[in-house]
Structure 1
Amino acid sequence: MATVQRGIGIGGGTVSGPVARMARPPVPPAPRTVPADQLPAEVDAVRAAFTDVAEALQRRADAASGPAAEVLFAQVMMVADPALADRAEALVRGGDDGPRAIDAAFGEFRSALAAAGGLFAERVADLDDLRDRAVAVLLGLPMPGLPEPGHPHVLVAADLAPADTALLDPASVIALVTEQGGPTGHTAILARGLGIPAVVGCAGAEALTDGRLVLVDADAGTVEADPTPEAVTEAAERAARRRRRAAELTGPGRTADGHPVKLLVNLGAPHELSAAAAADSEGVGLFRTEFLFLERTEAPSVAEQTDAYARVFAAFAGRRVVVRTLDAGADKPLPFATATDEQNPALGVRGLRTATRDPELLEDQLHALALAADGASAEVWVMAPMVSLPGEAATFADRVRAHGLATAGAMVEVPAAALRAGELAEACDFLSIGTNDLSQYAFAADRTLASLAGLLDPWQPALLDLVQLTAAAGTRGGRPVGVCGEAAADPAMALVLTGLGVTSLSAAPAALPEVRAALAAHTLADCQALAEAARTAPDASTARARVADALPEARLP
């Protein structure tokens, strides 16, 4: 008899296949006492384990690209941190054996990240994976990793480490189901980038055993075990139709009655530039500039920044590029820009607030952007992250224009900004909604906790209320309002956002074809009706269900 488990759907699509579960982490032997004359060898073995793991991950990172490479490089930095090996050595010399010392050292780092909350805490799963790999190397055990059943399968795991997610082959792993995780964690981001349907935060996945047939519906966020042959056939036919329709359409985003909705890509690192520029988009809706600043002891020079920005503007010649100024703080601490003593970095000095502490950081960045934009044919827009007050938006806009950059905007990521969106719109030229952070701050929900993943569901009606407030303010003021959060990648949600008044959607390049096809199949009035149905629902699941019920499969790719 079929059973249905629920979680958070990522990426869209419906596929079926047999389950293959991730291998369990290594189990260390019973504690042992290390004789004094063997301590040097034990210390050397522990340090070698850290080195071996770092080198193996470095090789994977060098062979990867896009978000996978970014995540793997971050893991290399973690396990290669000298403080980690030093702490493990101290624990060995204090009486622990190698496996216990590794576990304890990682445990201390883990606790520090978990206590920091926010995006810092999302790194906890990364540390757990690194710990397991180091222990496996030390004990000579098989490395924990992906199963290889020899046929296409649905990968099921408690959670998925970045090093494993980066190696997923869509030809073999046709869907992904995890017990933990949320819509903004590394697993969700990488799965979306690979185009693999996923359901994360699915607590019932623990009951799914190897070889069991499941039907994964990433649109509905469900995993159906033991589906009927008819359900499997219907899902396969529906997926084929979606792919066919999405491939048939090109060009600017428009509803069936011609209402324009700009379709833009997100861009966050140099190695993503080629694929992003080749995508059928109208430009960049979110150019994250942090890659220039991270893992450095001092800020990049104006010349270095200018060169990086100029390459992006050249790649998107004739198209829009929306640049987000430095979003330091929270999960992206910088030694030259952020304080080390903040108790809650997610609520601390981050985003535009860093310009108060160090005005020259923003001034140099704006100067570099102006130099890069001079003579470029790209339409350069500049926006500030983490704007809370209209006065902040006005001051930022003045600084942008003082550098000769014509278009300045503000991100709406905190409820205060949405509630005063009309005044923000008066102060600048456009608004951009970051649904990920807006969800976290609106619901006071740590987005690293699987138990709270439902609160971060972009279908939450309260979040849609905030989007509508912002979009309506933009309409009244004649200002465009975009969405650059993960919600923009969902075709059904794209219709709702359009109905709420959003004028542009920015997502991963792989998501744009189905979003374009969904828009082309519905009129603006259709979108407005769907938006009202979702926004007035009592909860996220009802909102999603109302829209799904109102969308005949033939009209949604």
Structure 2
Amino acid sequence: MGERASSGLERSEAVRTAETAEYEGVGVGTAAVAGPVARMGQAPPEPPDVPAAGDPAEECAKALAALAAVAADLRARGTAAGGATADVLEAQAMIAEDPELADGVRSRTDAGKTAARAVHETFAVFHETFAALGDYMAGRVADLDDIAARAVAVASGVPVPGPPCREEPYVLLAADLAPADTALLDRRLVLALVTAEGGPTSHTAILARAMGIPAVVGAAGVLALTDGTPVLVDAAAGTVVAHPSTEAMEAAIARCCADAAAAALTGPGRTSDGTPVKLLANIGGPEDVPAALVSGAEGVGLFRTEFLYLDTDEPPTFDAQVKIYKEVFDAFGEDTRVVVRTLDAGADKPLPFVRLGEEPNPALGVRGLRAFRAFGGRNEAILRTQLLAIREAAGTSAPEVWVMAPMVDEVTEAEWFCELAAACGLDVAGGRVGIMVETPASALTAGAILAGRTGFASIGTNDLTQYTMAADRVLGAVGALQDPWHPAVLQLIGAAGSAGAAAGKPLGVCGEAAADPLLACVLVGLGVRSLSMAPSAIAEVRAALAARSLEDCTAMAARAAGSATAWDARKAALRS
């Protein structure tokens, strides 16, 4: 980390000629790096609407070849990157191959449009359609625009937009970054990512965290910087400083070196005064377990079971579920915990066999636990089979297996889930059946919920922030509001934390917020006693906690929750 922080220092000193300017955004990671700016290549201009000089069939073939080339390139990038990135890019490649796109291109080239213009106009129609659908599809508009820009560039015979070609380390600057651009960045050259748009749950933020590249996203005004401008990117502070002073750079670099030494710590998570804080991993299936084990995770805080149910017209069988669950459980030993989230259906995860009916606003509709209680319980058998499979798989496994239901809002829902879990043989009396706190309602009534049979609660900060701020978590236009640092969100977490302490029942966090080392300390100060995150974030979170006492965390939390804005909350938490 020390080497990464110092790269570009000499160059920055040599070209400092302008006044220092500071831009504020959302930081990803804790590193600070210095280096020259290199801007992302721009999308091609809109093709002129002029009649094609060539034969319509030739123009059509050129346009379709461009779409095929883009799909192939996206798949190749995904194969090279692997993991979650491969899934994202596969989804983009499938869009490029959509038959409706091909039909739109044919009709327009038949009408005399050029290949590039036909591609542009066809994607424009898709853009409007996606934007009008709301929720998940509206959140994919940025991905659609990226595919369109690539296809238009290929059809026009101009360079495809993307990262610059550089032989020396640089800070990549862009309005936003598409997954395809982020996937194959050369980590030896890209010191940091800086974007003017996006938020803490944007693709850029998620992929930067997974790749271990420090980033500042949503830094308004930063596009005023020109190529070669020396900058100091401080992910921990969420700032980008142009023409920084030598003193500022040295202070940031010194802090990073100290953080790097602290990150070498191993063992269970705890504060400097010994308060235990379990550090757990978020996983989607057996393929994610090795990374969790290597990171030193004390178990799993969020086992997303949706992957078993996707891309199929029928729910997985009891035996198929037992096999997968047992494979995950058996990978962990005694004194560890695996928390399984039951199927989170609905909203942006529709399933053909979970019949929910038509909904004008799925994010506020029948999703999570509601999907199995609504409509007279017609979907309840799916959840019952899952609970029985979890019980069977947990029977001879070493770790403690806990189960929690998503999207629970009130006592009656929590009690219904506990009753069903008990009927399926799960350990309700032992406190191993709980709920997710994802709405203001469940945060504010957590005291009543935890006073009953519910054994624990885990806060999903992504959804809690979405519902608190009335800002769709996948809609880029409101990405700046999707910030778990907002004092309203912190106050709700604090209310749940107080309820957990009063009931003597554990409270955890399993959203993206847990991966932010500074925010992790604030969460502990609000009463959270377990943090579940991407395995790659565990070392930095462990180090951040080890550097602060519980009293420090509590003071940080009070300052942050009492602030006016998310940005003020970050600044307040940093203040000693």
2:416 paired residue among 391, 395, 407? 395
Give the superposition deviation at 1:262. 0.5
Say which is worse superposed, 537-546 or 215-224, in terms of deviation: 537-546
1:21 paired residue among 23, 39, 60? 39
- Give the conservation status (yes or no) of the 8 Å contact 2:356–2:371: no
Q: Cα distance 1:454–1:129, how it changes in 2: closer, same or farther (>3 A)?
A: closer
| Match status 1:460 vs 2:481 | no
Give the superposition deviation at 1:95. 5.0
Q: How does 1:166-245 map to 2 (within 5 A)?
A: 166-245=183-262
Q: Cα distance 1:415–1:20, how it changes in 2: closer, same or farther (>3 A)?
A: same
Q: How does 1:277-288 map to 2 (within 5 A)?
A: 277-288=293-304
Runs (5+) with no aligned partner, structure 2: 1-18
Give the superposition deviation at 1:176. 0.5
- The 2-side partners of 1:90 and 1:438 are apart by 45
Give the superposition deviation at 1:499. 1.2
- The 2-side partners of 1:360 and 1:183 are apart by 37
- The 2-side partners of 1:108 and 1:289 are apart by 35
1:5 paired residue among 23, 26, 44? 23
- Give the conservation status (yes or no) of the 8 Å contact 2:71–2:93: yes
Give the superposition deviation at 1:199. 1.0
The answer for the alignment partner of 2:445 in structure 1 is 420
| Match status 1:141 vs 2:133 | no
Say which is worse superposed, 79-88 or 415-424, in terms of deviation: 79-88
Report the AA paired with residue 319 of structure 2.
Answer: A
1:320 paired residue among 328, 332, 337? 337
Report the AA paired with residue 121 of structure 1.
Answer: A
- The 2-side partners of 1:76 and 1:371 are apart by 39
The answer for the alignment partner of 2:3 in structure 1 is none
2:44 match: secondary structure: coil
Q: Cα distance 1:371–1:86, how it changes in 2: closer, same or farther (>3 A)?
A: farther
The answer for the alignment partner of 1:303 in structure 2 is 319
The answer for the alignment partner of 1:535 in structure 2 is 561
Q: How does 1:364-443 map to 2 (within 5 A)?
A: 364-406=385-427, 407-425=432-450, 426-443=452-469
- Give the conservation status (yes or no) of the 8 Å contact 1:201–1:450: no
Q: Cα distance 1:267–1:314, how it changes in 2: closer, same or farther (>3 A)?
A: same
- Give the conservation status (yes or no) of the 8 Å contact 2:202–2:476: no
Say which is worse superposed, 86-95 or 517-526, in terms of deviation: 86-95
- The 1-side partners of 2:108 and 2:351 are apart by 29
1:333 match: secondary structure: coil
Report the AA paired with residue 60 of structure 1.
Answer: R
The answer for the alignment partner of 1:255 in structure 2 is 271
Say which is worse superposed, 509-518 or 218-227, in terms of deviation: 509-518
1:60-101 CA distances to partner (integer Å, 9 max, x unpaired)?
222222222222222223223323323333343455433233
Q: Cα distance 1:110–1:404, how it changes in 2: closer, same or farther (>3 A)?
A: farther
CA RMSD of aligned residues (A): 2.1
Percent identity over paired residues: 52
| Match status 1:30 vs 2:61 | no
2:539 paired residue among 513, 529, 537? 513
The answer for the alignment partner of 2:518 in structure 1 is 492
Instruction: Report how many residues are paired.
Output: 548
1:174-201 CA distances to partner (integer Å, 9 max, x unpaired)?
1101111111111111111111111111
Runs (5+) with no aligned partner, structure 1: 551-557
Q: Cα distance 1:78–1:370, how it changes in 2: closer, same or farther (>3 A)?
A: farther
1:426-459 CA distances to partner (integer Å, 9 max, x unpaired)?
2411101011111111111234555644433222
Report the AA paired with residue 424 of structure 1.
Answer: I
1:104 paired residue among 113, 116, 121? 121
Report the AA paired with residue 510 of structure 1.
Answer: S
Report the AA paired with residue 481 of structure 2.
Answer: L
- The 2-side partners of 1:110 and 1:337 are apart by 29
The answer for the alignment partner of 1:555 in structure 2 is none
- The 2-side partners of 1:301 and 1:50 are apart by 38
- The 1-side partners of 2:267 and 2:468 are apart by 35
| Match status 1:272 vs 2:288 | yes
Say which is worse superposed, 451-460 or 528-537, in terms of deviation: 451-460
- Give the conservation status (yes or no) of the 8 Å contact 1:160–1:178: yes
1:287 match: secondary structure: strand
- The 1-side partners of 2:218 and 2:455 are apart by 38
1:171 match: secondary structure: coil
Give the superposition deviation at 1:409. 1.3
Task: Report the TM-score when normalising by structure 1.
Answer: 0.93
Say which is worse superposed, 452-461 or 391-400, in terms of deviation: 452-461
The answer for the alignment partner of 1:89 in structure 2 is 106
- Give the conservation status (yes or no) of the 8 Å contact 2:404–2:433: yes
